[in-house]
């Protein structure tokens, strides 16, 4: 069904009260109209140019209260071209409702959102797969990909990267680990200059050796002579530091093949001044090794415990 002028009625001369002085063929202020159609839906009635036949009756900003077959609504004439015979309507809302066109940008504040609104996550802006929202330096929620030591999948499953958990990250009371490369020159010279394995932990701390695996990679020339090898506290020369481990005979390092030698914790009774806040060093007693070009890696398992 098309527009029927019999169902269009002007309810007021103008929205303002009092006398209206006309200017030409148009009133001084918008008029209020009513239109009723039992056959047409709102979508049909408000479609462009439905009111083209009334182009000379309507004026820009006139209000139309429309009662259609499916709903009612309040609209205003948003564009009119009498020469072209076109009329366009825009919703003004009804019964307290406000449509998008009549909502001022930025007008909705946090206080206007009901605490029980339970806004669906689907209403948020798209968030890249696996990303999380993090407050930026400007205090704005920003989509970022998790990185560093921990990652997260789009299923919410977190994972710690390979070799990401280091001794420095755990409680000092837990077992710690260090790997130290030792050159042939450092090994041969550790009688006079003990090789540092683990630095001192600080005041009122004691480094306790659990186990040391000293892995030798044979190069081509054997070691000979030398003295008993051990781990000691502090860098005292000639193996004179307080012993912190069991010992290995010098001959254990004369092999012409790659070998592994194990040391266990073996500290003996000693005053705090000789071991508290002291580093762990590899040294030997009675004399230095001669010749030899094999290299080593010392794998050290230890704990750092408080002394008070």
Identify the structural domains of the chain with CATH numbers, from first to last: 5-101 (no CATH), 171-306 (2.60.120)
Model pLDDT, residue 25: 47
Verdict on whether the full-model pTM lies above 0.85: no
| Residues 171-174: contacts with CB under 8 Å, at least 24 apart | 172/201, 172/205, 172/303, 172/304, 172/305, 172/306, 173/303, 173/304, 173/305, 174/303
Quick count: other Cβ atoms within 10 Å of Cβ 53? 15
- For the CA atoms of 282, 286, 287, 293, what is the dihedral angle to 10 degrees? -50
Q: Which residue did the predictor score with more confidence, 1 or 235?
A: 235
Position 266 confidence tier, pLDDT thresholds 50, 70, 90:
confident
Structure tokens at 74: 């309040």
Q: Which residue did the predictor score with more confidence, 281 or 153?
A: 281
DSSP character at residue 64: E
Q: Which of 59-63, 95-99, 208-212, 270-274 has the highest mean pLDDT?
A: 208-212
């Amino acid at each position: 069904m098309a527009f029927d002028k019999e169902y269009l009625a002007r309810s007021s001369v103008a929205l303002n009260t009092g006398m209206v002085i006309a200017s030409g063929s148009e009133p001084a202020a918008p008029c209020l109209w009513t239109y009723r159609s039992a056959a047409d839906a709102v979508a049909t009635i408000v479609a462009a140019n439905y009111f083209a036949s009334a182009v000379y009756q309507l004026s820009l900003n006139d209000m139309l209260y429309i009662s259609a077959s499916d709903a009612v609504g309040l609209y205003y004439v948003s564009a009119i071209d009498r020469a072209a015979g076109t009329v366009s309507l825009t919703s003004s809302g009804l019964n307290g409702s406000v449509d998008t066109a009549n909502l001022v940008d930025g007008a909705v504040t946090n206080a206007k959102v009901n605490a029980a609104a339970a806004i669906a996550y689907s209403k948020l802006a798209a968030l890249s797969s696996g990303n999380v929202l993090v407050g930026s330096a400007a205090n704005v929620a920003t989509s970022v990909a998790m990185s560093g030591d921990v990652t997260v999948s789009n299923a919410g499953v977190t994972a710690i990267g390979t070799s990401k958990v280091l001794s420095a990250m755990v409680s000092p009371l837990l077992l710690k680990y260090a790997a130290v490369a030792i050159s042939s020159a450092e090994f041969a010279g550790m009688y006079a200059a003990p090789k540092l394995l683990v630095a001192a932990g600080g005041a009122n701390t004691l480094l306790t050796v659990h186990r040391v695996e000293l892995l030798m990679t044979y190069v081509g020339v054997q070691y000979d002579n030398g003295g008993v090898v051990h781990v000691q506290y502090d860098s005292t020369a000639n193996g004179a530091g307080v012993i912190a481990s069991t010992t290995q005979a010098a001959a254990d390092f004369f092999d012409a093949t790659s070998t592994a030698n194990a040391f266990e914790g073996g500290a003996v009774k000693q005053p705090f001044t000789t071991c508290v806040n002291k580093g762990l060093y590899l040294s030997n007693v009675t004399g230095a090794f001669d010749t030899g070009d094999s290299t080593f890696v010392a794998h050290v398992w230890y704990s750092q415990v408080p002394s008070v």
